[in-house]
């Protein structure tokens, strides 16, 4: 631990899981969407004041334009530039793929998946982020093994992270905090000893916004329209 006695922590942001859980979730009140321009450095300080945040790892993939949101790549680019201005933040990029697959059609039931009758398959467009969960799991285990932190903070609700999180807690003896950006918690993530569970709060999001305009080595960075 550092001289001041605060435990060293590394924060691992599952970018898509965090963004969709906080800002693109119909179960959230609409006013949550005003706070996408989030300074993760300030946010971590507000959420974890008792920890010495030695590094923030942000895992994401570069978006591609679609008819649904053709400006999404440009907005994301501005945000990633802003994030890279944060001291001790590192960006870890996977891939964003768009492809088509045949899938069985579903009845428009609101609460559960029901096959449409008569059974039929249709071509659907599937956007997928690839690599971020594996990258996050890899760095989580590697940092714990190298004793680079006393506490691992994982910002995600992806149940695929249950196995590496269990390994870090049980085999490598690292305490962990799981910050859930979704409304409910994935069941598999609740079955791990030595994990403290917390939820994202609107108050901290609102208090940790970037300035509307910033600059970096390449020039001006501007908050995307509709992000405030």
Q: Express each pLDDT in 138-160 by its tens digit.
A: 999 999 999 999 999 999 999 99
The pLDDT value recorded for residue 4 is 60
Task: Name residue, tokens 């690292």.
Answer: 174
Q: For residue 110, what pLDDT is reported?
A: 66
Domain ranges of the chain: 8-94+131-222, 97-127
Low-confidence ranges of the chain (pLDDT < 70): 1-4, 110
Q: Per residue in 13-33, is it b (16+ CB within 10 Å) or e — as a string?
A: bbbbbbbebbbeeeebeeebe
* Number of other CB atoms surrounding residue 39 within 10 Å: 19
Annotation: CATH topology of 8-94+131-222? Rossmann fold (3.40.50)
Q: What is the pLDDT of residue 201?
A: 92
Q: What is the pTM of this model?
A: 0.91
């Amino acid at each position: 631990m550092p001289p001041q006695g605060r435990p060293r922590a590394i924060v691992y942001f599952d970018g898509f899981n965090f963004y969709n859980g906080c800002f693109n979730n119909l179960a959230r009140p609409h006013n949550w969407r005003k706070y996408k321009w989030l300074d993760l450095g300030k946010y971590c300080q507000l959420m974890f004041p008792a920890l010495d945040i030695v590094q923030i790892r942000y895992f994401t993939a570069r978006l591609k334009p679609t008819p649904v949101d053709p400006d999404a790549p440009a907005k994301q680019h501005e945000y990633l530039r802003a994030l890279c201005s944060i001291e001790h933040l590192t960006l870890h990029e996977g891939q964003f793929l768009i492809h088509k697959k045949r899938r069985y059609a579903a009845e428009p039931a609101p609460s559960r998946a029901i096959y449409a009758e008569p059974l039929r398959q249709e071509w659907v467009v599937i956007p997928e982020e690839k690599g971020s969960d594996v990258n996050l799991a890899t760095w989580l285990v590697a940092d714990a093994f190298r004793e680079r932190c006393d506490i691992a903070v994982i910002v995600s609700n992806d149940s695929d992270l249950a196995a590496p999180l269990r390994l870090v807690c049980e085999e490598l003896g690292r305490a962990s905090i799981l910050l859930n950006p979704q409304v409910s918690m994935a069941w598999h993530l609740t079955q791990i000893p030595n994990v403290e569970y917390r939820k994202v709060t609107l108050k901290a999001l609102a208090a940790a916004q970037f300035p509307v305009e910033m600059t970096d080595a390449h020039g001006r960075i501007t908050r995307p329209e509709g992000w405030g």
